[in-house]
Amino acid sequence: MGEIQSIGFIGVGIMGKSMVRNLMKAGFDLHIYARTRSKVEDVIGEGAVFHESIADCVKDRDAVITIVGFPQDVEEVYFDEGNILDHVKEGAYLIDMTTTSPQLAEKIYQEGGKKGCHVLDAPVTGGDTGAKAGTLSILVGGDQADFEACMPLFEAMGTNINYQGKAGCGQHCKLANQIMIAGALSGVCEAIAYAREKGLDPDTLLRSVSAGAAGSRQLDSLGPKIVKEDFAPGFFMKHFIKDMRLALIEANMSGLSLDVLSTVLAGCEELEAEGMGDLGTQALIRYYDPIEIEDEESENEEEL
């Protein structure tokens, strides 16, 4: 494993917990921080060392991995007084695996470099299932030598690991990924809404088209859940909204007009305003599917 033995890990959530387990299986020494200890007792029991503060968690570690919720959380754990950059040792590898702003990734790279640290932005795709299986795709920006030094660590968590370019490029790649998902997911939702409206059986529809040119990972993983109205989150709607907003900001800065992304974002924001932000992304069907609205209107007409 080279020089990286001890890892501080911040963000032990749906994704992070499985990543911690896979790093421990690979032989790394894991130190974790979480706001609520009771939520991570399982991985503590499996060998992770819990710390009451970020400062204690990152002190003297060879590498620090963060995978938190939102850009403001990344700002807090790296830059707030007493957090990562105030306590990490010189020469440590700092790896932010949160999907966040490319500009923020560049800021961490610059400020970390001033303290003698090696900084990589390494967002992931593959969801909670990929995290559990250790088959994540890892999209890495930063210095190539640092990417290569961290390869054993990445290989413990993923199987499709690619160097994207300078600092921030990992984030740009992840945002491109989310733009593709927005189009694919909205297509699945619109197709199911259309099929229902025209009296087709949704299960037969999925079986009929999934192996053809319309097939996609979004269709395979979320189509059956949409049909069953299973909206349990594999990936939170609120986090997808965050990602799409970041992508739209970057697109606007470059003068790109991404109309599908804008439409899907607007639909998701509408659902979030109705209290659906903690559902899975497949709940986007609620924006497209007119059945509930029509049922309510027909009941009102009967009352009249």
Distance CA(164)–CA(113), nearest Å, equals 19
Contact yes or no for 150/96 (Cβ under 8 A): no
Q: Quick: pLDDT tens for 251-288.
A: 999 999 999 999 999 999 999 999 999 999 999 999 98
292: CB partners within 8 A, 6+ apart: 286
β-bridge partners, 30: 7
Q: Which residues are catalytic?
A: 174
Same structural domain, 195 and 60: no
199: CB partners within 8 A, 6+ apart: none
Q: Quick: pLDDT tens for 70-97.
A: 999 999 999 998 899 999 999 999 999 9
Same structural domain, 69 and 188: no
Same structural domain, 89 and 11: yes
Residue where a domain stops, chosen among 147, 167, 187: 167
Is residue 125 in some structural domain? yes
Contact yes or no for 184/217 (Cβ under 8 A): yes
Same structural domain, 62 and 125: yes
DSSP type of residue 37: G
Is residue 162 in some structural domain? yes
Residue where a domain stops, chosen among 127, 146, 167: 167
Burial 174-191 (b: 16+ CB within 10 A, else e): bbebbbbbbbbbbbbbeb
What is the span of the domain harbouring residue 180?
173-299
- φ, ψ at 5 (rounded to 5°): -120, -45
Same structural domain, 229 and 128: no
Same structural domain, 162 and 201: no
Same structural domain, 40 and 183: no
Residue where a domain stops, chosen among 139, 167, 195: 167
Q: State the CATH number of the domain containing residue 243.
A: 1.10.1040.10
Judged on CB neighbours under 10 Å (0-12, 13-18, 19+), 11 is buried
Q: Tell me, what's the pLDDT at 293?
A: 37
Is residue 142 in some structural domain? yes
Same structural domain, 184 and 126: no
149: CB partners within 8 A, 6+ apart: 2, 3, 4, 93, 118
Q: Tell me, what's the pLDDT at 118?
A: 98
Same structural domain, 144 and 273: no
Which parts of 167-258 fold into alpha helices (H)? Answer: 169-197, 202-209, 217-228, 237-253
Is residue 304 in some structural domain? no
Q: Which of 231, 241, 239 is nearest to 282 (CA)?
A: 231
Low-confidence ranges of the chain (pLDDT < 70): 1-2, 290-304
At 8, is the secondary structure helix, strand, or coil? Answer: strand
DSSP type of residue 236: B
Is residue 79 in some structural domain? yes
Same structural domain, 14 and 155: yes
Distance CA(222)–CA(234), nearest Å, equals 10
Domains contained in the chain, number: 2
pTM: 0.91
Same structural domain, 258 and 148: no
Same structural domain, 32 and 143: yes
138: CB partners within 8 A, 6+ apart: 97, 122, 123, 124, 154, 157, 158, 160, 161, 162
Q: State the CATH number of the domain containing residue 120.
A: 3.40.50.720
β-bridge partners, 165: 141
Distance CA(67)–CA(35), nearest Å, equals 14
